Structure 1
Amino acid sequence: MKYHQIDRNLFIKNRKNFMAKMKPSSLAVFNSNDIYPISADSTMPFEQARDIFYLSGVDQEESILVMFPDAPNPDHREILFLKETNEHIAVWEGEKLTKEKALEVSGIKTVYWLKEFDKVFYEIMTQCDTVYFNTNEHYRANVETETREARFIKATKDKFPAHSWAKSNPILQRLRSVKDQIEIDLIQTACDITEKGFRRILGFVKPGVWEFDIEAEFMHEFLRNRSKKFAYTPIVASGNNANVLHYIENNQECKAGDLILLDVGAEYANYSSDMSRTIPVSGRFTKRQRQVYDAVNRVKNDATKMLVPGTMWKEYHVEVGKLMTSELLGLGLLDKADVQNENPDWPAYKKYFMHGTSHHMGLDTHDYGLLYEPMQAGNVFTVEPGIYIPDEGFGIRLEDDVVIQEKGEPFNLMRNIPIEAEEIEELMNK
């Protein structure tokens, strides 16, 4: 791993919190992700399943975590099963976790090699009544590929039909939505790496560079700061490309007078950052671009102030819509008749700002979170309003990542990343 080892107390605490929510005489199982094939002998880079990582810190394929708090054998209350390393694997792939290193990473004392799983699992299944299975129930999820977890669930239900089944996801949704300080520090590191990438491109962008040149500059800075990749597929959208919300081709030349909408973020230790900035290719905003830019920035700043304990996600977005409506009226993009005659299910402002303002963020860029309960301290949210004007050839989105505090305004993890128009222009014209 490129990242520094994480304090194992985070994972010890996470397991303790999860097991406190389990039913009596139950166990929970979590599997690593597969390494997915491309074709021939090629594979995609391994990405660990976030839930087993959250509970163990293990960042390795073919790993299984079992938690059985009522196990009659105390050694079986937390168990890791790992792929056994050998000299051949060490030569061709690099060394895997040893049992000693697994304890150091996770705080789990009982570690078996994977070949022992069937025997040990049969033993503990005879001692429990309920099995917690881990399924992906994120509100944006659309899973078409059968995962290692899904195969395990199917096989276990066939082999042990008399057991009761329960869901891990509701417990994890609640636990993962509130970040530990160690997690917040890791997200801060990801944001700090993103800042370095952004400052790098401010001195690089000029008419004639290509969108993929900018993507490459970000990637260079991310890699040299212990990030393995972008946290999500980057958007580098110049000119009218910015009006395609998920534009990821990044294959066009950046032309004088245009704006570039950047939606990029570094990952660090599997934790995400998520930043949007919009900058002028020529180093200066036009008068009109600046008017729209400042309007988006005002909405972002005012929306951020609403992210406090007790705020409801749905009501928050209604209030942000009112802020945006006011700004669009001021810009002449809407008139009073548009607002008076609007469809309540698709308000007038949605013509220019059609996406949501905030989402949970953490181990996933669109992280687990409880959308129908009041916000609480420790939630990490993005704040990302935008105005998109195809008729004028540009779109502007600005986005920061913030942590809700017990009192006062949220803490901005991107407070050091330039965002004011004057600072952007100053840095681009040094």
Structure 2
Amino acid sequence: MDLNHNTTVIYTPERDLRFENGSRVNDFPGRPLLNDTSISDKTGVPLASMQDFTEFMNNASKEKNTVLINNNREGDIRYASNEYVATYSPVQVLLRALNNRHSGLKHKNMYEAVANVRMIKSNSEIEILRKAASITVEGIKQSAKTIKAGVDERFLEGILEGDFKVNGSQRLAFGSIIKSGPNSHWPWRILATHYNRRNRVMENGDLVIFDVGCEYNQYVSDIGRTFPVSGTFTERQKEILVMETKVADKIIKFLKPGITFKDVQTLTNSVIPNNAKPYMQVGLFFGHHLGLSTGDPSLSNAILKPGMVFTVEPWYYNHNENISVFTEDMIVITEDGCEVLSKDLPRTPEALEALMRD
């Protein structure tokens, strides 16, 4: 998009050597190539070659124009001083290439503009997210019915993800996180790097946490629940789960247009019991935006508006007692409050136990 001249062009390659061989032309559908007129027909935007793009960028550099770059965070664009980051961060690789090839360009962060557009979902987008939530709820229900001692965590993954596909999901929103017993005390970043923490055989007395989501028509879900492997929560497990869901309920009840995320953060800090604060992350983080990704762009100082979709997820990690519980729900801000898109999935200890029996 050239904002100086109010023009938009899609630059595409003329060939894609990955899909060519001596006996077959590159006629695979969906390849964005220069001779594919369907792209312009669908978008109304003209096509040009990559050679034209190089010429355009050279001219922009000579004129010392400003290029807008999504830096994936708020604030001014920062250039990596660490060689590893400069080599492997996609944004930093782009910045380095622009400096090397088109040194006359100025760089400006467009993250705020992207976030302002992405934070507010249209009615049609919300309906797709509602469907993604529904598929995820059903998948958790089906997988939870197979929980018992002696079952591997990956077995639950298989039931869950198979049900996702049966109900129309094209792919996962992220790698399914199903963790039991001591595995449940660790964040997903740690579990993802240790293979032996993704295939544990569950035992009676364990809790098993689901933190899962699917993708439906490019939009994603993210929902979480905690189940007892034995089919019945202990009194202490039940006590912690009830406390954690009460915190979530108070946050959800507070959500409405006109307040800020800082207001939400202040509220979360005030509703966590003092004896639980050392074990809960919600005082620092209560959720994240959803849409085309599970970390949709957002602004920390944003005022809540109808159409915003995000999660509410108060973790409780207690290594001392070997108890961790997790409840995560998808929320959409409405004109006068909010709607829980994952409301069809039980949250109370009694309802979760009943779901496992049915």
Query: What is the TM-score normalised by the length of structure 2?
Result: 0.82
Question: Which of 123, 134, 140 pairs up with 1:192?
Answer: 134
Segments of structure 1 that go 5 or more residues without pairing to the other structure are 1-66, 329-333, 335-348
In structure 1, distance between residues paired with 2:92 and 2:319: 43
Segments of structure 2 that go 5 or more residues without pairing to the other structure are none
In structure 2, distance between residues paired with 1:354 and 1:285: 23
Q: Which range moves more in the overlay, 96-105 or 267-276?
A: 96-105
Distance 1:284-1:131 versus aligned 2 partners, 3 A rule: same
**Alpha-carbon contact 2:61-2:103 (below 8 Å) kept:** no
Aligned to 1:118: 54
In structure 1, distance between residues paired with 2:339 and 2:37: 38
In structure 1, distance between residues paired with 2:71 and 2:18: 34
Does the residue aligned with 1:284 lie in a helix, a strand or coil?
coil
Aligned to 2:310: 381
Aligned to 2:40: 103
1:60-209 correspondence to structure 2 within 5 Å: 67-71=1-5, 77-84=7-14, 89=19, 94-95=28-29, 96-97=31-32, 99-103=36-40, 107-122=43-58, 129-137=65-73, 144=85, 145-146=87-88, 150-209=92-151
In structure 1, distance between residues paired with 2:327 and 2:252: 12
Which amino acid in structure 1 is aligned with residue 130 of structure 2? Answer: Q
In structure 1, distance between residues paired with 2:17 and 2:331: 46
Distance 1:149-1:241 versus aligned 2 partners, 3 A rule: closer
In the TM superposition, residue 88 of structure 1 has moved relative to its aligned partner by 6.9
1:18-97 correspondence to structure 2 within 5 Å: 67-71=1-5, 77-84=7-14, 89=19, 94-95=28-29, 96-97=31-32
Give identity over the alignment, percent: 26
Number of residue pairs matched? 336
Measured against aligned partners, the alpha-carbon deviations of 1:223-267 in whole angstroms (never above 9, x if no partner) come to 344434332233212123222132343221111232111111112
Measured against aligned partners, the alpha-carbon deviations of 1:268-311 in whole angstroms (never above 9, x if no partner) come to 34422111100111222223222222222221111101121232
Distance 1:351-1:410 versus aligned 2 partners, 3 A rule: same
In structure 2, distance between residues paired with 1:138 and 1:223: 36
Does the residue aligned with 2:9 lie in a helix, a strand or coil?
strand
In the TM superposition, residue 128 of structure 1 has moved relative to its aligned partner by 8.1
Q: Which range moves more in the overlay, 389-398 or 143-152?
A: 143-152
* Higher relative contact order, chain-length normalized (CA < 8 Å, sep 6+): 2
Asked if 1:311 is matched to 2:248, the reply is no
**Alpha-carbon contact 1:79-1:108 (below 8 Å) kept:** no
In the TM superposition, residue 417 of structure 1 has moved relative to its aligned partner by 2.3
Aligned to 1:428: 356
Query: What is the TM-score normalised by the length of structure 1?
Result: 0.69
Aligned to 1:287: 235
**Alpha-carbon contact 1:81-1:113 (below 8 Å) kept:** yes
Does the residue aligned with 1:317 lie in a helix, a strand or coil?
helix
Distance 1:245-1:170 versus aligned 2 partners, 3 A rule: same
In the TM superposition, residue 397 of structure 1 has moved relative to its aligned partner by 0.9
Which amino acid in structure 2 is aligned with residue 307 of structure 1? Answer: L
Q: Which range moves more in the overlay, 354-363 or 159-168?
A: 159-168
Structure 1 ranges of 4+ moved more than 6 A:
90-93, 124-128
Does the residue aligned with 2:330 lie in a helix, a strand or coil?
strand
